[in-house]
Structure 1
Amino acid sequence: MSDVVAAARAAAAAMRDVFPPTPLLRNEYLSDLHRGDVWLKREDLTPVRSYKLRGAFNAMRKLDGQDVACASAGNHAQGVAWMCRHLGTRGTIFMPVTTPGQKIDKTRAFGGDAVEIRLSGDFFDDTLGAAQAFCAETGAHFLSPFDDGDVIEGQAAVAVEMLEQLDGPPDLLVMPVGGGGLSSGILSYLRAAGQVPEIRYVEPAGGASLTAALAAGHPVTIPDLDNFVDGAAVARIGARNFDILRQVPPQHVLRVPEGRLCITIQQMLNVEGIVLEPAGALAVDALRDLGPEVAGKRVVCITTGGNFDFERLPDVKERAMRWAGTKKYYVLRMPQRPGALRDFLGVLGPGDDIARFEYLKKSARNFGSVLIGIEGADPSTFAGLEDRMAGLGLSFRDITADPMLGEFVI
């Protein structure tokens, strides 16, 4: 038995004193939808609703009570906090000043009196620097969320459980990649155990750090990071993690668009009653791209987390509708005369619903600029709407996909 296999199995066995294995459940809805045998490894059902607990546990159990510190605004913070309380370890958790209160409160609840939360910096790099400076000053152990050998070893326990629960590897394994802790841990174990199935790695399109590293041959920093998928949108994959993943074929790395991911989040909630955070839904969403690779195969998708703030639901719905083409935003040049609005309303179809109407400014004495958001029953209805607006003589611009205007106006 290799050292990697023995260490991962020992970590998994030690975890049983803290929490049970997460279930591996066949999902009828996804199996029927994709004509395969689809199973979900439910890491969203750990005590902190994410797999991050595993790496934190494995690293901290080896520290003999040494104080720890970390920088995180999400699942890593909660995993460290939970383990501090369980192990009686003192922890200092650095979070950006901009962290939502709900995440701060949840981390504090998991850690109780065992942790101190410090808010530092508007951006994560500032928070990370503060945590590392604290460790240098106090001697506390800095616990990386992914670029750490013991964390990687702990995440490999997911693979240990999966092989035991399935009595062998699946035909296809689909797992998300952020900083690389989970994917490198699982891959290292499967390689050492000689049970490597077909694997597809999934990244958010706006945070494809593995794709960038494979293209460059080394980890690189993504300049423009979209942090909507906050559990997996990492600007730079970990160095240790990439050393394990560097032989992954680039064509096996899928990039999921954030808008489409929102459709999957909604479907899993509305159809299956499964609450997944954006990162937790990545592997499920990627089934859309795999097509014949799923049909007739036994497929395992790792749902990595379910820490979803329901205050984000309106944003998820908005992104989903815009991706599906059932919601559009226009800037109209509206005549400033009596009856102009009534004329405009006349061009709307029976299924068109005005979701937003806002005068932006008067561009001239006789005209004003209007932002209007319209929801339609079907994407095809918008072509007819635009024809009717043009026939009325209205000047308009579709700004739905404009990233700059979308950020500042929509």
Structure 2
Amino acid sequence: MSDFTNAVTAAETALRDLFPETPLQLNDHLSARYGTEIWLKREDLTPVRSYKLRGAFNAMRKAIDAGSTRHFVCASAGNHAQGMAFACRHFGARGTIFMPVTTPQQKIAKTRIFGGDSVEIVLTGDYFDQTLAASQQFAAENSAAFLSPFDAADVIEGQATVAREILTQLPAPPDLVILPVGGGGLSAGMTGYMASAAPGTEFIFAEPQGGSSLKQSLAAGVQVTLPKVDSFVDGAAVARIGDLPFARLRGFSADQVLTAPEDRLCITMLDMLNVEGVVLEPAGALSIDVLQDLHATGQLTGKRVVCIVSGGNFDFERLPEVKERAQRYSGVKKYYILRLPQRPGALRDFLEMLGPDDDIARFEYLKKSARNFGSVLIGIETSDPANLTTLTAKLDAAGFTYQDITNDDLLAQFLI
């Protein structure tokens, strides 16, 4: 075995002091839908509901064993912070966790619960880059170890324990593993371990469409820093793949990276919640979401597939947004700016065009100053996208002036 394989084995053995291996479950719902074996590696069932605990634990274990430090620092508003906090309490080590000032109270409270008296939370910076700079400066000034969420060898080694568990849980190695990608630590670790332990296993990587740093970097042959990132998939929305992860992943093809539209991810999240009772954060749904793309091209046929479910830290206050985005993507909810004539009966004329399954979800006058016409923001929900196609045909035939702003990001940001 390679040095890396031996190190991952040692990490996994030590990890059992913290929590048992996470379940690997054959999912009947997804297997029936796609006509093949779909297994879910449930990293949402660790004590902190994500795999991030593995890397944080391993890096801290090795630093403590080496006697180099017992004070650890990180910058995170999510799963990495909670993983480090939990590990700090386990080791009785000191942790200083920097979070942006804008971090939701729910995430701050959970991190405090996991870390107890072992951690201090410092709120600083409106943006994460400011928070990161402050944490690194603090670590340097206090001789503490800065704990990267993905760009460190010991963290990558800890994340690779997911692969080792999978190979002990299945009678034979999987044909295909689908890996969610943010900074790349999980992918670098798992592919590195399986390269020697299961060389026949293939890999597909799943990134959010608004944060495809690995795909673009592989296409360019060098690391690419994205000029803009959609932050909806907050567990994987990274502008630049990690240096060390990219060095380990650069041998893969950009064609092996699939991108999941953020709104489509919402459909997957709701499907898993309503059908399976599984609560997933957006990043945790990535590997499941891209199954439909692989199925459409026949890449799932006859294969045993493992999807890494990376996390389940979902704030239910976001559920209305998730439902809204899912409806808009599936075409059963649309928003229009409608120009109504300022005359008696004009609104009634519009309402009579609605079908029996069409429901007005939003109605708001935007401008009333014009003498002849007034602008209205109107949202329509229905049971079938075809109903809204029928509605727009009726509007056209009646000569109404309207604009569909459902997919206009700028207008939607201000009006919806």
Alignment pair present for 1:75 and 2:79? yes
Q: Map of 1:40-51 to 2, 5 A cutoff?
A: 40-51=40-51
1:324 aligned to 325, 330, 342, which one? 330
Measure how far apart 1:212 and its partner are: 1.5
Asked whether the 8 Å contact 1:168–1:195 carries over to 2, the reply is no
**Equivalent runs, 1:85-124 vs 2, <5 Å:** 85-124=89-128
Matches within 5 A, 1:230-245: 230-245=234-249
Query: C-alpha separation between the residues in 1 aligned to 2:62 and 2:346?
Result: 72
* Equivalent pair of 2:11/2:58 in contact (CA under 8 Å): yes
Q: Which amino acid in the other structure matches residue 373 of structure 1?
A: G
Instruction: Check conservation: 2:175, 2:200, Cα contact below 8 A.
Output: no
Aligned residue pairs, count = 410
Residue 246 of structure 1: how far off its partner (Å): 0.2
**Superposition deviation, residue 194 in structure 1:** 4.7
TM-score, structure 1 normalization: 0.98
Q: Residues 164-175 of structure 1 correspond to what in structure 2 (within 5 A)?
A: 164-175=168-179
Write out per-residue CA displacement over residues 21-50 of structure 1, whole angstroms, 9 at most, x where no aligned residue: 001010000000000011100000000000
| Equivalent residues in 2 for 1:168-247, closer than 5 Å | 168-247=172-251
Given the alignment of the two structures, is residue 10 of structure 1 paired with residue 10 of structure 2, yes or no? yes
- 1:24 and 1:165 in contact (8 A); partners too: yes
Tell me the distance in 1 between the aligned counterparts of 2:330 and 2:100. 33
TM-score for both structures, normalised by structure 2: 0.97
Name the SS for the 1:244 alignment partner.
helix
Structure 1: 5+ residue runs without aligned partners?
A: none
Given that 1:326 and 1:379 are in contact with CA atoms closer than 8 Å, whether structure 2 keeps it comes out as: yes
User: 1:116–1:338: structure 2 CA closer, same or farther, 3 Å change rule?
Assistant: same
Identical columns (%): 64
Q: Provide closer, same or farther for how the CA distance between residues 309 and 208 of structure 1 changes in structure 2, counting only shifts above 3 A.
A: same
Structure 1 counterpart of 2:154, which letter?
D
- Please give the per-residue CA displacement for 1:362-398, whole angstroms capped at 9, x wherever unaligned: 3622221111010111111112101222233321000
Asked if 1 retains the 8 angstrom alpha-carbon contact of 2:173 and 2:198, the reply is no
Partner of 2:257: 253
How far, CA to CA, are the matches of 1:244 and 1:18 in structure 2? 28
Q: Is the 8 A contact 2:338 2:377 kept in 1?
A: yes
3-state secondary structure, aligned to 2:314: coil
What secondary structure, in the 3-state scheme, does the structure 1 residue paired with 2:385 have?
A: coil
Q: 1:380 aligns with which of 382, 386, 390?
A: 386
Give the match for residue 61 of structure 2.
61
1:341 CA drift (Å)? 1.7
2-side partners of 1:168 and 1:157: how far apart? Answer: 17
Name the counterpart of 1:284.
288
Distance 1:235 1:374, change over 3 A: same
Q: Which moved more, 1:337-346 or 1:154-163?
A: 337-346
Match of residue 141 from structure 1: 145
> Quick check: 2:337–2:402 contact (8 Å CA) kept in 1?
yes
Query: Which of 15-24 and 332-341 deviates more?
Result: 332-341
Distance of 1:136 and 1:193 partners within structure 2: 38
TM-aligned CA distance change 1:194 to 1:294, over 3 Å: closer
**Which deviations, in whole Å up to 9, do the C-alpha atoms of 1:338-365 show, x marking residues without a partner?**
2222221111111111010111123622
Query: Partner letter of residue 206 of structure 1?
Result: G
Offset of residue 311 of structure 1: 0.7
Structure 1 distance, partners of 2:223, 2:121, is: 30
Q: Given residue 331 of structure 1, which amino acid in structure 2 is its aligned partner?
A: I
Name the residue aligned to 1:368. Answer: 374
- Structure 1 segment 391-402 matched on structure 2, within 5 A: 391-402=397-408
| d(CA) in 2 for partners of 1:213, 1:66 | 36
- Look up the match of 2:24: 24
Cα distance in 2 for residues equivalent to 1:236 and 1:368: 46
Structure 2 unaligned residues grouped into runs of 5+: none
Deviation sequence 1:251-302 (CA, Å, 0-9, x none): 1110011111111100000000011111001101111011122232111000
